[in-house]
Amino acid sequence: MKRAFSGVQPSGVLHIGNYFGAIRRFTEFQDEYDCYYCIVDLHAITVYQDPEELPKAIRDTALYYLASGLDPEKVTMFAQSDVPCHAELSWMLECISTFGELSRMTQFKEKARGTESFSSGLFTYPVLMAADILLYDADVVPVGEDQKQHVELCRDIAERFNSRYGETFKIPEAIIPEYGARVKSLQDPNKKMSKSDPNPLSYISLSDSKDEIAAKVRRAVTDSGREIVYSPEDKPAIANLMTIYSLCTGLGFPEIEDEFAGKGYADFKKALIDAIIYALEPVQQKYAEYAESGMVSSILRQGAEKANQVSSQVLRRAKQSMGLSLLADPTRRKLF
């Protein structure tokens, strides 16, 4: 069975960009792939996280994994910090990554803009992500558009490792959806919807109430004109809202244009509010059920056990390739 690996940071709220761009799609892989879905708490601490809040955010992310339809009988879900191999392989890979390539990462440049007091972890963040993926011999990595560059870096690092130390890692491939790969901010369609955006009007969180969803959509920016037509260049705000409508309803853009021909933005926004509420309702319901059930901790414990087994074998292989750890390699053990 081929393997899929992906991760979500337990930092702040999860929004519909995370859901449509990643989490909902995770479920599409669970029948045909051996799936590992990680809650990447070590990535989250590259910026300060309140130690009281972080465990809740980890649990919340796991609950949304389950609420979105991931079946714990089929997939392995776990918290990254429960599997020590991630940090260990990350260090080994840091030693073959260059300052130059990490400096070119768009996400790093955006987050570090205008300051030098960011953590070193923020800089080496993509290397830890490469370690995450390579430790599971992943074939595919379902992610949103913003993570594509990181998966490409992961491929470069793996190829460099293989050519320097011999065939060790499988080269993974990013799977980016055609639509929904980059849901934009409701307040500025030139920016992606982001959980670190200080303005909550810019995103719809998976936990937003009906009233909050309605208020946010009503206040979402629109473009000039009044027609509902899909034209990302001329009408980026409407194109973004149409994308969200399409993701919620499964309708294509021509069908949406037909549905709203002769109608204006107010009618469209009304329908969009209903569509988002309808799409999120079952997720919110299941979230509440799983939260009540108290199953999450045992699911994460079992997930971590399995992840530890798989990743420790790959780490051992990587150490052997690099000439590290006598215990990993019986032929070298004899040297001493």
Applying CB under 6 A, the residues found at the interface with ligand TYM are 5-9, 17-18, 21-22, 40, 43, 129, 132-133, 141, 143-144, 146-147, 150, 180-183, 192-193
Min separation Cβ 44 and ligand TYM, Å: 8
Q: Shortest approach of ligand TYM to residue 121 CB, angstroms?
A: 12
**Residue closer to ligand TYM, measured from CB, 111 or 317:** 111
192 part of the active site: yes
The one catalytic residue in 192, 216, 235, 319 is 192
Q: Which residues contact 132 (CB under 8 A, 6 or more apart)?
A: 5, 7, 38, 40, 80, 86
One-letter amino acid for residue 178 of the chain? E
Cβ 38 vs Cβ 80: under 8 Å: yes
- Contact predicate 172/4, CB 8 Å: no
Say how far apart CA 155 and CA 174 lie, in whole Å: 10
319 given a catalytic annotation: no
Of 41 and 223, which CB lies nearer to ligand TYM in the complex structure?
41
Residue 138 near residue 172 (C-beta atoms within 8 A): yes
**Hey, is 83 helix, strand or coil?**
coil
Q: Which residue has the tokens 């558009």?
A: 145
Shortest separation between residue 79's beta carbon and ligand TYM, angstroms: 12
- Residue nearest to ligand TYM according to CB distances in the complex: 21
CA distance 143 to 26: 9
- Tell me the closest approach of the beta carbon of residue 191 to ligand TYM, in angstroms: 9
Partner residues linked to 38 by β-bridges: 7, 78
Query: Catalytic: which of 195, 210, 263, 270?
Result: 195
- Go through 260-289 and write b for each residue having 16 or more CB atoms within 10 A of its CB, e for each that does not: beeeebeebbebbbbbbbebbeebbebbee
Least distance CB 7 / ligand TYM (angstroms)? 3
Angle at 181 between CA 176 and CA 184, to 5 degrees: 165
To ligand TYM, the closest distance from the beta carbon of 169 in angstroms equals 14
- CB neighbour class for 172 (10 Å; exposed up to 12, middle 13-18, buried from 19): buried
**41 closest CA partner among 25, 57, 65, 27:** 57
Q: Is 111 a catalytic residue?
A: yes
Which CB atom, from 35 or from 328, has the smaller least distance to ligand TYM? 35
- Catalytic entry in 2, 74, 109, 111: 111
How many Å apart are CA 90 and CA 230, to the nearest integer? Answer: 43
Query: Of 202 and 249, which has the nearer Cβ to ligand TYM?
Result: 202
Residue with Cβ nearer ligand TYM (173 or 289): 173
Which of the residues are catalytic?
111, 192, 195
